[in-house]
Homo-oligomer: A and B are copies of this chain.
Amino acid sequence: MKVVIVGAGFGGLRLARKLSNKAGFEVVLLDRFNYHQFQPLFYQVATAGLDASNISFPLRKVFQRSKNVKIRLAELKQVLPSENRIVTDMESISYDVLVLATGADTNFFGNTQLAENAFPMKSTVEALQIRHRLLQLFEGAHTETDTAELQRIMNIVVVGGGPTGVEVSGALAEMKKYVLPKDFPELDFSKMNIYLLEGGSKTLATMSEKSSVQSEKYLTRLGVNVLTGTLVKDYDGKDVLLQDGKKIPARTVIWAAGIKGNIPNGIDKQMIARGNRIKINRHCLVEGTNNIYAIGDLAYMETPLYPDGHPQVAPVAMQQADLLAGNLRLMEKKSNPSRMYEFEYRDKGSMATVGRNLAVVDVPKPKLHFGGFFAWLIWMGLHLMLILGVKNRFFVFSNWLYNYITYDQNLRLIFREFNRPVKQEKNSEAREKKELTL
């Protein structure tokens, strides 16, 4: 059985690993990047706490010992269900079973000006861009003579009070407190403001009431201006326009207020549900097809426990990958279809970290809540466990230990190119000058 998996996030990668070296399976794992991205720590890359390589794991390394998993670095251009094949920017690949695990991307809700000016943080490279923007702005502030413009540089707005927004604004507040004044003694960071804007009535709305309250308390303690019930209308790169007409001047806006599924071309529009997700049945099969599956953030499944769909989080993607791997193996053995497993999400808990010694953890069964230092330790331990590769784990731990002891990081690097463009063969264009931060 030839299984083509598109996307090497938590779901796709997990499925490929489960099918690796299993008799009867030929697997092709396709991704736009040649590495797995550990999304939960993007915010630490953005705030210079971790190196991009620490949370990126080369796919070819994962499958070095696999005899039946082929890696393809390519972009999916089209699914052709009637021909059982996909077309990428490199080649055409046929399949017996197609698994779509392309995840979700930032949703700017159709506002192009917002999309052009606000920073998303849904990939390692986007996290690096945020880091770069911040450092570059502070460097430029030294020659800024206009007071209003200087304040605009000093204001950072984070939109979205979910885990990403909470974590990145907490980390920014700690940069302001511990790192930036030491690095830029000529600038006055008492003027720096970090705003966290949330449209709803509370931060971490999907977590327990205790966690919501506690996270807001922690953020306020760190100096973040938490503004709940605040909707953003537009952003022109200079001022954030709020729904109530007020403006916040800010050169940096991080947008963590919504995601939408990455639907590939060729998927029947009727199969698309709320949030740009693909409707699947309880076997993860895309409705209306018999050999196309979808898992993870991209997929939308209604179950008795979750009649409105599952949360778009890594554990759902991983549990769906596990289920699908089991069912595919049953199919390969020509087992009776009635033996196939039906999916239900087992929520083992959720957590978010705000800063040093400050985190919140909810466990549903038994119903428990932790906050503060103990929650922070749980958060660290669990994330270390989930990171792929002994070396990455070791380096992330070393970086955390170093940062914890010294109240400092030394990854505040802007990698910028000044030289002539480099010609690329495919997937690229010549460009005069590019900038990236590491």
Which residues of A are at the interface with B, using a C-beta cutoff of 8 A? 32-35, 51-53, 56-58, 60-61, 64, 70, 72-73, 75, 90-91, 115-117, 119-120, 123-126, 128-129, 133, 135-137, 139-140, 142-143, 182-184, 186, 237, 251, 389, 391-392, 394-395, 398, 402, 408, 410-420, 422-429, 431-436, 438
A431 closest partner in B (C-beta): B431
Decide: A183 and B429 in contact? CB cutoff 8 A. Answer: no
A145 to B129, CA, bound (A): 37
A431 to chain B, nearest CB (A): 4
Among the interface residues A72, A143, A186, A429, which one has the most CB atoms of the partner chain B within 10 A?
Answer: A143
Instruction: Return chain B residues, CB-CB under 8 Å to A408.
Output: 61
Decide: B422 and A129 in contact? CB cutoff 8 A. Answer: yes
A406 to chain B, nearest CB (A): 9
Instruction: Return chain B residues, CB-CB under 8 Å to A119.
Output: 422
Decide: A411 and B120 in contact? CB cutoff 8 A. Answer: no
Instruction: Return chain B residues, CB-CB under 8 Å to A432.
Output: 429, 431
A434 closest partner in B (C-beta): B434
Do A128 and B415 contact each other (CB < 8 Å), given the known contacts A53-B438, A392-B410, A424-B136? Answer: yes
Instruction: Return chain B residues, CB-CB under 8 Å to A412.
Output: 34, 58, 60-61
Q: Which of B35, B90, B133, B422 contacts A413 (CB 8 A)?
A: B35
Decide: B64 and A415 in contact? CB cutoff 8 A. Answer: no
Can you name 9 extra interface pairs (CB under 8 A) apart from A34-B413, A136-B427?
A33-B415, A52-B413, A52-B438, A56-B413, A73-B136, A117-B423, A124-B415, A140-B425, A428-B435
A89 closest partner in B (C-beta): B143
Decide: A422 and B51 in contact? CB cutoff 8 A. Answer: no
A88 closest partner in B (C-beta): B143
Q: Which of B56, B91, B136 contacts A438 (CB 8 A)?
A: B56
Instruction: Return chain B residues, CB-CB under 8 Å to A133.
Output: 422, 424
Decide: B410 and A182 in contact? CB cutoff 8 A. Answer: no
Decide: B136 and A425 in contact? CB cutoff 8 A. Answer: yes
Decide: A58 and B398 in contact? CB cutoff 8 A. Answer: no
Copies of this polypeptide in the complex:
2
A422 closest partner in B (C-beta): B129
Q: Which of B415, B423, B433, B438 contacts A428 (CB 8 A)?
A: B433
Do A402 and B413 contact each other (CB < 8 Å), given the known contacts A56-B438, A61-B183? Answer: no
A119 closest partner in B (C-beta): B422
Decide: A416 and B182 in contact? CB cutoff 8 A. Answer: no
Question: Could you list 6 A-B pairs, sorted by A, with CB under 8 Å?
Answer: A33-B414, A53-B438, A117-B423, A129-B422, A140-B425, A429-B432
Decide: B64 and A182 in contact? CB cutoff 8 A. Answer: yes
A-B pairs with lowest CB-CB distance, top 8: A434-B434, A73-B139, A60-B183, A431-B431, A91-B143, A58-B412, A125-B417, A90-B143
Decide: B51 and A137 in contact? CB cutoff 8 A. Answer: no
Instruction: Return chain B residues, CB-CB under 8 Å to A427.
Output: 136, 416, 433, 435
Instruction: Return chain B residues, CB-CB under 8 Å to A431.
Output: 431-434
Instruction: Return chain B residues, CB-CB under 8 Å to A416.
Output: 32-33, 125, 427-428
A95 to chain B, nearest CB (A): 16
A34 to B70, CA, bound (A): 40
Do A414 and B72 contact each other (CB < 8 Å), given the known contacts A116-B423, A398-B394, A398-B395? Answer: no
A67 closest partner in B (C-beta): B185
A426 to B435, CA, bound (A): 11
Q: Which of B35, B115, B410 contacts A61 (CB 8 A)?
A: B410
